[in-house]
Amino acid sequence: MSLGEGVPWYRQVVYLSLPWLVVGLGLEVATRVFYDAPHSGRRMFKEFTMSEPHPRRIWKYKANYLQKYQTDEFAMEVATNSWGLRDAEPDPSATLRVLAIGDSFTFGWGVAMEARYSNLLEESLQRLRPDERVEVLNAGHFNYSFDQQLIVLGELIEKYRPQVVLQGVYPGHVFSIREHAWQLGDDGALLKVSYADRTNAVRVTPDGVLKRTNLWIEEPPLGSRFIAKLLQRYFRSQQIEEAVAGALWLYEPGNSEMAEAWSLTEDAILRASAVSRAHGAMHVVFDVPQDVQVSEAEWLPHFREGAAKRELDMDHPTRVFESAAGNAKWVSLLEVFRDSYRPSLYYPRDPHWTAEGHRLAADALLPAVADAIEGVLIQGSISDGHALQLD
């Protein structure tokens, strides 16, 4: 049998396929040569190489690490201590200790270490109690959701022994926690956080960069870099669409897509309060308001367009956070930032607090943290059960 007179059908298939194979080979070679070529100096300023894998909380910071990082909006130097935290070494002589846990806002993304709310708060508390040595240890990790913060708290509270645990909760991580899977112990304690979908997750590259990657991109069919580039474009488009939708879902109280995520959020915050109490520490929880909550002037066109089609409740995350705080001391920064709103509180394109935003947060948190310390002192002596465990 043949598809043309005198020419076997299988040869015709080869002849018809050959041009496509040549084109495909050309595209593959072009992709490898032009798109996979290293860009000199790109990682120096555009990549953050301070991370390493962690078996329980996905990733952590490298200890004793130093790096300068720069964008078109800010430049900062990041140094970690021997505990892998962006802070100085814990001071054994400190008699009043506050442990600050949270995400990139607590970490101080975009500002110098001394300009963060935790450092400013330490200075103010020290002025209030000149006869004591006050220390606020910053354990903030960018991109950490509430479950990862909980594991950090469990690891540090035993050896740091703070009198107060200060936790900042950011609405965006309600969306990110929905990607996580929890491994619980026999006693119900959270042992490990991982990604529920291992084919699409945040991973640490060999040189310490956090990247959202996909196994279809890392291991493309036939090992083709051209196919990987096509898939990369597709998944990136998906991520953008999901991020835009998720930003709106946060402010729709009845949105079924977020029900489980809100439940996990409340559970993680309640667990953090229980861990704090079990170690004799007061738990102070505060909301880190998104810029879009603070003022409509911060709404980008895609958010404004989506908001016009929905009934949004911009206070919804704050109310849920307050409810989840339970018996912990609660501080809302949302109204503080609304009352004092000015564009200079957030960076224009990277919506984290500027030094002004950190100063406003520190001033607003001071009364609650000072009151929590006073509550600990009323319950017992400063040092009882709170000796720093350096080993």
Q: Do 197 and 179 form a contact (C-beta atoms < 8 A)?
A: yes
What's the CA gap between 145 and 336, in Å, rounded? 23
Q: How far is residue 108's CA from residue 357's CA, in Å, rounded to a whole number?
A: 11
pLDDT above 90 as % of the chain: 64
Specify the DSSP element, H or E, that contains 247. Answer: helix 225-249
Rounded Cα gap, residues 122 and 137, in angstroms: 9
* Whole-angstrom Cα Rg for the chain: 25
- The whole-number pLDDT of residue 378 equals 79
User: Using the 8-state DSSP alphabet, how is residue 208 labeled?
Assistant: S
Mean pLDDT of 365-385: 80
Of 62 and 229, the one with more pLDDT: 62
CA nearest neighbour of 145 among 101, 187, 185: 101
Mean pLDDT value of segment 106-117: 97
74 SS3 class: coil
- Can you give the pLDDT at residue 231? 57
Q: Is the pLDDT of residue 97 over 90?
A: yes
Phi, psi of 278 (to 5 degrees): -65, -20
Return the pLDDT at 38.
Answer: 38
> Using CA atoms, how far apart are residues 135 and 129, in angstroms rounded to an integer?
11
Q: In terms of C-beta distances under 8 Å and separation of at least 24 residues, what long-range contacts does 62-67 make, across chains too?
A: 62/208
| Averaged pLDDT of the chain | 85
With beta carbons less than 8 A apart as the criterion, state whether 96 and 390 touch.
no
Question: What is the pLDDT, as a whole number, of residue 1?
Answer: 45
Over the stretch 232-248, which tens digit does the pLDDT of each residue have?
665 565 555 566 666 88
- Residue whose entry in the numeric block shows the structure tokens 């590259």: 205
**Tens of pLDDT along 116-150?**
999 999 999 999 999 999 999 999 999 999 999 99
22 has which bridge partners? none
User: Is there a contact between 169 and 288 (Cβ–Cβ < 8 Å)?
Assistant: yes
Q: What is the pLDDT of residues 29-45, one digit of tens each?
A: 555 555 554 332 223 33
Q: Report the pLDDT averaged over residues 5-34.
A: 56
β-sheet bridge partners, residue 282: 164
Tokens, residue 55: 């078996």
d(CA 295, CA 315): 12
User: What is the distance between the alpha carbons of residues 362 and 383, in angstroms, rounded to a whole number?
Assistant: 25
pLDDT(47) > 90: no
Q: Which CATH number fits domain 42-50+63-195+239-379: 3.40.50.1110, 3.30.230.70, 3.30.420.80, 3.40.50.2300?
A: 3.40.50.1110
Q: What is the pLDDT of residues 288-336, one digit of tens each?
A: 999 999 999 999 898 899 999 999 999 999 999 999 999 999 999 999 9
Q: Cβ of 88: how many Cβ atoms within 10 Å?
A: 13
pLDDT of residue 186: 95
